[in-house]
Amino acid sequence: MPHGSDATSRYAYYDETGAARDVIGLAARPVPRPGEGEVLVEVHRSGINPSDTKRRAGWASYKPRSPRMVLHCDGAGVIVAVGEGVPASRVGERVWLWNAETEGQGTAADHCVVPSGHAVTLPEPASFDVGACLGVPACTAHRAVFADGPVEGQTVLVQGGAGAVGAYAVQFARRAGARVIATGSTPEKRQVALDLGAHVALDYRGPDAAAAILDANGGRGVDRVVEVDLGENLALDLAVAGLNATIASYSSTRVREFAFPYYAIAPKGLNFRIVQGYCLPERAREEAIRDIGAALAEGWLVHRIGAVFPLEEIVAAHEAAERGDSGKVLVALR
């Protein structure tokens, strides 16, 4: 780590919301110092989530949390300094980060200060690329799959099984003993879901999608739905959900507002859960971190990593993420 008053650290930021090319800038600042209970991480990889691009664009309810926002919540790197109250033994530890952008100091920077608990040990042989994929997608997927208890012996429908969250949800549910039905809009995406462990992968846009899903489950409704776009897929979810099923949604991008068809829902006693990866209950976060750590150590969790851009090309990285390019788009700091 650089020391002294002249030591600087690059970072990518925005001061106002808008299109990536219009608002993202690059600058340098003194290397930040960790305060009490914090760690300073030398960032190697920064991960881009849809929520990062939506917040930067000023989309919906995503609001900047400080006058100057350093981009991105997810990342991975090495702890190079610790604040008061944090064991010095953490220096040199490889870590993955979650909610780094909480105070506007995100991971699209050479150095990032986060609360010690937001820097989680990254076990060997997991790479920094892998670590930068985990914070939002893997924790969100874990909560969506397990928030209502074990899934062993149940059927879990994962809408968008090749997406960042969906891919992890397929793996968590399959590993936990569920029958997994995934959906995807293209044959390539459906094959990805199958390769990740889905028992069946279907086209959710087809006119007979509901019948196909029910047929794949022996004519019975599914027990859980992990939903990527609630407003768009609500009718399909209602048609295939079983008695007392849970629909856990983490986004509703195409249809932001929609009617709540109470009397289509009530006869099945359906449960709706909104999963927000940035504000998981403390116990849920702990359980997700525990299980993600075990999966990394055991080596079975697959990560869909896409293009990696240098910090100087972060605008192109955001545009690639917004296009929906395959795999998680990353930014390399070193």
Res 3 pLDDT > 70: no
Instruction: Pick the more confident residue, 216 or 3.
Output: 216
Domains and CATH numbers, the chain: 8-133+303-332 (3.90.180.10), 137-279 (3.90.180.10)
Lowest mean pLDDT across 4-8, 243-247, 281-285: 4-8
- pLDDT of amino acid 280: 96
Kindly report the backbone phi and psi dihedral angles of residue 14, in degrees, each rounded to the nearest multiple of 5, phi listed first. Answer: -145, 145
- pLDDT of amino acid 324: 87
Lowest mean pLDDT across 66-70, 94-98, 286-290: 66-70
The C-alpha angle 155, 158, 164, rounded to 5 degrees, equals 145
Res 46 pLDDT > 70: yes
Query: How far from 322 is each of 214, 316, 330, CA to CA, in Å?
Result: 33, 10, 13
3-class DSSP assignment, residue 321? helix
What is the pTM assigned to this prediction?
Answer: 0.95
- pLDDT of amino acid 136: 96
Res 67 pLDDT > 90: no
- pLDDT of amino acid 6: 65
pLDDT for 94-105, tens place per residue? Answer: 999 999 987 668
Q: Find all residues with CB under 8 Å of 70, minimum gap 6, and list them.
A: 11, 12, 13, 101, 104, 105, 106, 107, 108, 109, 112
- pLDDT of amino acid 43: 98
Residue 326: band (very low, low, confident or very high) from pLDDT cuts 50, 70, 90: confident
Residue 60: band (very low, low, confident or very high) from pLDDT cuts 50, 70, 90: low
Task: Give mean pLDDT, residues 61-90.
Answer: 90
The C-alpha angle 38, 71, 96, rounded to 5 degrees, equals 50
Q: What is the distance of C-alpha 243 from the center of its chain? A: 29
pLDDT for 234-280, tens place per residue? Answer: 999 999 999 999 999 999 999 989 999 999 999 999 999 999 999 99
pLDDT for 250-260, tens place per residue? Answer: 999 999 899 99
- The rounded mean pLDDT for the chain is 95
Q: Would you call 324 exposed, middle or buried from its count of C-beta atoms within 10 A (0-12, 13-18, 19+)?
A: exposed
Task: Give mean pLDDT, residues 37-42.
Answer: 97
